[in-house]
Structure 1
Amino acid sequence: MTARSIDERSAAFDLAQRLRDPDFRSYMVRNGYVSGTTVVVAYDDEPVTEVFSRIVNETKPPVIVAVHRPSAKPYGFVFMEIGQVDYPPSSNPTDDDSNVGASASIGMLYDTMDAQTRPKTHLTVPNDWRPARFKVQLAGAGC
């Protein structure tokens, strides 16, 4: 088992432990969680391409990405909602589209979106076989 997989499990266990707290569950609901929605746990420095690859390969959007960020108050997580995924016929982005660099982390994406005035965006995430276009918004931002 790699150090990364141990860390990922640690963050998932941290989230699971916090779910026993009614205040944390209320916090998650305020941040877009709806019962039955899949939660994908990611570390702040985890590459966006890895997180979105897990979403495509292991689950079906919509999902909530719980980004483990110990400095985030009050619970050490920030949340993003990932909506539908499309596979555009061409890889040319539209005006409302943003391409994610291969070296970007999920934390960098969160911080960039948090600094923007628009609460949601469409992102094209590169991969080795077929770029995917995702509807992404900060959790709790509304549509």
Structure 2
Amino acid sequence: MTLASGFDFARRQRDPRFREYLHRIGWTSEHHVVVAGDDEPVSAVVARIINNDTPSPCLIAIPHSGEPFGFGLMFLEVTHAATRRSRLWHRSRTKAPGGIVISPGTSIGMLYSSGRRCAEYIPNEWTRPVVFTHVPSAV
């Protein structure tokens, strides 16, 4: 499913409206896109991104039939120190009060569906925390 979804994401980039939406949310061709299944654990997605040295920030695309372009989108930024405050690289990003608790069983789809603007995740196995930023729908 992920491979087919990756091709679908690439195909949609031919649509000028989709490209405009990507531009509005701050995505550029320099950002990598990681396609993740709705039920994929957050820890598996983060491990794949870190282990493949995917440049940060990257865009996570989750196939989602309820979204106008067929994908739910989130940015993921790997930070470099657990105590470092996340930089505001995207002009509309703000940290949600109280944050979101991400447990080992949390799927990337659950995180996306929460609709919250931002979550910070500090995996026990890694020293580098990651910050997720929910992207508003294209509506």
Number of aligned positions between the proteins: 123
Q: Contact 2:100–2:120 at 8 Å: present in 1 too? A: yes
User: How far 1:19 sits from its partner (Å)?
Assistant: 0.9
- Structure 1 vs Structure 2: percent identity of aligned residues? 32
| 1:81-120 equivalence runs, <5 A | 81-86=75-80, 88=82, 98-112=100-114, 114=115, 116=116, 119-120=117-118
Report the equivalent of 1:138: 134
* C-alpha distance 54-38 of structure 1, shift in aligned 2 (>3 A): same
Q: Contact 2:61–2:74 at 8 Å: present in 1 too? A: yes
AA at the equivalent of 1:105: S
Cα distance per residue 1:35-61 (max 9 Å; x no partner): 311111111111111111111111121
* TM-score normalised according to structure 2 size: 0.75
Q: Contact 2:60–2:74 at 8 Å: present in 1 too? A: yes
Q: Contact 2:59–2:74 at 8 Å: present in 1 too? A: yes
Report the equivalent of 1:4: none
Please report the RMSD computed on the Cα atoms of aligned residues, expressed in angstroms.
Answer: 2.4
Greater per-residue helix proportion = 1
* C-alpha distance 15-136 of structure 1, shift in aligned 2 (>3 A): same
* TM-score normalised according to structure 1 size: 0.73
Greater per-residue strand proportion = 1
Report the equivalent of 2:12: 18
Q: Which runs of 4+ in 1 moved over 6 A?
A: none
